[in-house]
Amino acid sequence: MHNEKDGEKDFFEIEGLAGQRILSGTISVGGAKNAVLKVLASSLLFKNEVSLSNVPDIEDVHRILEILEDLGVVVEKKNAHTYKLFTDKINTHIISPEIAKRIRASIVLTGPLLARLGKVSFPHPGGCVIGKRPIDVFMEGFDLLGAEVEEKENSYLIKTKNKNLHGAEIFLKTPSVTGTETLMMTAVLAKGTTVIKNAALEPEIESLGDFLNQCGAKISGLGTPTITIVGGDLLDGANQTYVTMPDRIEAGSFVVLGALAGEDLTVDKCNPTQIDSLLYYLRNSGVKMEVGTDYVRIKGAQPKVFKSFDVKTHEYPSFPTDLQAPLSVFLTQTTGQSFIFETIFEGRLQYLETLVRMGADAKILDAHRAIVEGPTPLHGRQVESPDLRAGLAYVLAGIIASGQTVVHNVYYIDRGYENIIERLKKVGVKIARKN
């Protein structure tokens, strides 16, 4: 694994396939980044220990573990993918500003720490630069649960008004994933019953809630828009292990790669039902694939022409914003005009300017909408990764382009994809990591 300093100067060199469909073999999906980060945060709700397996060996996991250690959690690493956390000596309410500013997911630690210690201090969260990501959903929820928020110059101090947090009815104005998860975790230790309405439906929330229930929480309604939590005592993680669910965004990214360049490519160790929206779009476009219970195989003669289509990102189970950039690379190879409507984040379409430099015919209409005309051959370029998902999209573009593509600032890609170079090389991609 490469640390942040490495990733900032490291780059990927890709020899493009110039549109050839030659990738074959199997590429396996790892544990879900967006699931495991929340379960790690939930360790603050436990009186003793938390065991985790199938943990992806990625930068974001290392950063969250650093913050937890700073709070007094003892981290025992069994191997690259298995950890045991001892949580009986949490000793500070201050989340390290230096680490937290580099990882936006640190915001989910605030609720569990507030619930456990009665107060939490944290900096304004950092992470990828993809438009505004307001944190008012957290603040409003904490207020309803009986905490008060004090805003300082670059940080917040939140503390309970009385001795304990109490149950509340919380309506989320948008079904935020991190909002749902953070407030659900906070409510686990609050006195009384909390009802979260318009809760997000993402499978990562269900995975987290199921594990907390195994360890003594009382959460019902998981997977529905109304989640009810009956508060209680610290959880007991003895004799329980959280097995990280497969990463559906990674699975989707690899399926797009197969659609673009696969001769006989299997994406395995995944849950295809969690990427139904992507599979629907690709099938309708003409991609031929075989879908099993834990794999997607793209093989055989694909049509010479893929049909263009319009895509609108939306909360689960609709099309995920995190697959929008990889899918746009596919749209550059479809015939006709495609319309992209990004409804979750504004400014997330800026990466299209780089695809245009590589030969794509794309126009950004405004902060949320763009048009792609295809098919256009792509050509290798020097590109800079602006965020995790766009960085991976540039890798996909480089693979199908002619000539050499160099992707800089690969720390962003390391944040979410474990050993991406080795896995891509195994199926026939000509790619190397240099510095």
> pLDDT tens, 379-402?
999 999 998 999 999 999 999 999
* Last residue in a domain, options 214, 243, 272: 243
What is the total count of domains within the chain? 2
Buried b (16+ CB within 10 A) or exposed e, 146-167: bbeeeeeeeebebbbeeeebbb
d(CA 412, CA 405) in angstroms, rounded, equals 17
Residue 149 and residue 268 in one domain? no
Residue 286 and residue 239 in one domain? no
Residue 93 and residue 233 in one domain? yes
d(CA 354, CA 333) in angstroms, rounded, equals 16
Residue 321 and residue 285 in one domain? yes
Sorted by sequence, the CB contacts under 8 Å of residue 418 that are 6+ apart come out as: 30, 56, 57, 58
Q: Which of 128, 130, 200, 275 is catalytic?
A: 128
Neighbours of 88 (CB within 10 A): 12
Side-chain-side CA neighbours of residue 122 (13 Å): 31
Question: Does residue 415 contact residue 398 with C-beta atoms inside 8 Å?
Answer: no
Question: Does residue 333 contact residue 400 with C-beta atoms inside 8 Å?
Answer: yes
pLDDT at residue 130, rounded to an integer: 43
Residue 276 and residue 208 in one domain? no
pLDDT band per the 50, 70, 90 thresholds, residue 134: low
**Which domain range does residue 163 map to?**
33-243
For position 239, which CATH number holds?
A: 3.65.10.10
Residue 160 and residue 205 in one domain? yes
> pLDDT tens, 3-15?
544 556 899 999 9
* Last residue in a domain, options 194, 210, 243: 243
> pLDDT tens, 200-258?
999 999 999 999 999 999 999 999 999 999 999 999 999 999 999 999 999 999 999 99
Kindly state the average pLDDT of the residues 252-278: 98
Residue 159 and residue 252 in one domain? no
Residue 309 and residue 333 in one domain? yes
> The whole model's pTM is what?
0.94
Task: Confirm whether 128 is a catalytic residue.
Answer: yes
Residue 262 and residue 357 in one domain? yes
Kindly state the average pLDDT of the residues 134-152: 90
d(CA 222, CA 225) in angstroms, rounded, equals 8
* Last residue in a domain, options 243, 276, 304: 243
Residue 85 and residue 52 in one domain? yes
pLDDT at residue 99, rounded to an integer: 83
Residue 271 and residue 236 in one domain? no
Residue 283 and residue 194 in one domain? no
Alpha carbon separation from 26 to 246, 254, 275, 424 (Å, rounded): 15, 10, 18, 10
